[in-house]
Amino acid sequence: MLVDNAVEGDSRVQKAARSAADAGWHVTLIGCAHVDAERRWRLGDAEVRVLPLAAARATPPATASAVVSGPGDVSGLRGVSGLRGVSGLRARLVARGGLPLRAARLARRPVEHAEVRYWRARLRDGAWRRLEPGLWDYERVAGPVVDDLRPDLIHAHDFRMLGVAARAVDRARAAGRDVKLVWDAHEWLPGARPRRDNARWLPAHLGYVREYVGHADAVVTVSDTLADLLVRDHDLPQRPTVVLNAPVAAAPEPTVHPESAAPEPTIPEPAPDLRKQCGLPPGTPLLVYSGAMAVQRGVDTVVEALPLLSGVHLALVVADPAAAYVRQVVARAARHGVGDRVHVLPYVPHRQLVAFLATADVGLIPLHHWPNHEIALITKFFEYAHARLPIVVSDVRTMAETVRATGQGEVFRARDAADLARAVRAVLADPARYRAAYEGPDSPLPGWTWEAQAERLDALYRRLLTPTR
């Protein structure tokens, strides 16, 4: 398995690797991240190796045909309309001490848009080699390791590792080995918020995916809606297998962590208690938001709603409680006079998270409208459900439809603090009504487990690797 991060914060990747190993596959999970040195540990019977991206050389590998251009490089673009004047203006601005950051970004965009137009016209989908040459770093670091492992199947998570896997498959097949490629599309890339503030990022990555998606023997994704979009966008011959981001229901097996040579105890440590960590007694209404913090995640709307919810507290369970945006949200709460009702807590291990969340009263998903927010049942949705929490979700399409169908929560208008407060009051007035959706023969929870999803993944692997007559 391949992933473009340090593994530890990616529960989907961890669950996929561990469950595949539990099913009898020999699994090596390779992550690529900005770490000081290679890290190794085990997830159950799966081996994890996180490779340092700093090991990547400053030039493309021998297989690359392009010369890398830096972010401001306009070589080869002489004569493109408008570039010469913009470049001169930028040079004068630099000489005079530059502009504030936002103005500087605006000033460079005409150059970036011209770069995109030029290289796409010249290289089509291969324009990523000029527009986003940093993608080669993953190839330089992970490609040789994959070759040495001589896998039968490569499971590439998300979009950056698709090209790494496709090129490894090509090399293996050229050497006479048949290797299968599974691409796990975690999100709809055309609907993604660009990861960097430049005009090159999205068109470069879209071209990168289009170049390599045809190498995949099968595609996996996170929702039915996204599966349909991938079929439409890439003319896939088969509909992707849907593997939901559901939580693990069973007790964990021993794990060997990077900082320890010994496994965890067979009986895991009990999960901490969210309510106790917030210092709140039973009966105090407690809302919880668990996950990444960013403007488009809508936590500001929750803070604006708190003055309308007398006595209600909010727990924010985040990766880095000291992060700049988290501090901004806390400061905003203080300005609204509710700072004493906002509690910021760090993540717990993903296998403890459901039990950790269970002492809250409501799970919040206050997303803004954004294409990728409309099409998936996100991880925290399932985590809240298994914690038996009523869910208050903004009117992003797929989750709003699910909540209305199951009766497990309330829907509010995105970015509308007053309507969010209305939804929270409705849940707090009759929580048993919403929790009842998780009980009885019609409960969706048995299908919303990782164990159920892992069976689909295992069946896909076996189908791909079973010889045909």
User: In 3D, which of 277, 423, 292 has the Cα closest to residue 357?
Assistant: 277
Residue pair 151/27 in contact by the 8 Å Cβ criterion: no
Q: Cβ–Cβ contacts within 10 Å for residue 424, how many? A: 25
Distance of alpha carbon 3 from alpha carbon 166, whole angstroms:
14
pLDDT at 79: 40
pLDDT at 349: 86
pLDDT at 67: 32
CATH 3.40.50.2000 correct for 2-60+133-242:
yes
Distance of alpha carbon 265 from alpha carbon 184, whole angstroms:
32
- DSSP letter for each residue of 318-386: ES-TT-HHHHHHHHHHHHTT-GGGEEEEE---TTTHHHHHTTSSEEEE-PPP-HHHHS---HHHHHHHH
- Angle, helix 450-465 to helix 11-22, in steps of 10 degrees: 60
Residue pair 18/44 in contact by the 8 Å Cβ criterion: yes
Q: Cβ–Cβ contacts within 10 Å for residue 315, how many? A: 25
3-state secondary structure of 414: coil
Instruction: Report pTM.
Output: 0.82
Sheet holding 180-185, edge to edge: 39-43, 46-52, 28-33, 2-3, 153-157, 180-185, 218-221, 241-242
Residue pair 162/209 in contact by the 8 Å Cβ criterion: yes
- For residue 392, the cross-strand partners are 364, 410
Q: Nearest 10 degrees: CA dihedral of 128, 134, 137, 140? A: 40
Please give the structure tokens belonging to residue 102: 């936002």
φ, ψ (nearest 5 deg) of residue 151: -75, 160
Q: Mean pLDDT for each 10-residue chunk of the chain (469 residues)?
A: 94 96 98 96 97 70 40 40 45 51 59 90 95 96 98 97 98 97 96 74 96 98 95 97 91 52 55 96 97 94 98 97 96 98 94 94 96 91 97 97 97 98 98 97 95 97 85
Q: Residue 285: which region, alpha, beta or left (left: phi > 0; alpha: psi -120 to 50)?
A: beta
Place of tokens 């709140």: 280
pLDDT at 91: 53
Domains 2-60+133-242 and 274-445 share a fold: yes
Please give the structure tokens belonging to residue 223: 């929702």
Place of tokens 């990766």: 319
Topology of the domain covering 274-445: Rossmann fold (3.40.50)
Domain boundaries, the chain: 2-60+133-242, 83-125, 274-445
pLDDT at 112: 85
Report which residue type is found at 65.
S
The two beta strands, 39-43 and 46-52, are antiparallel
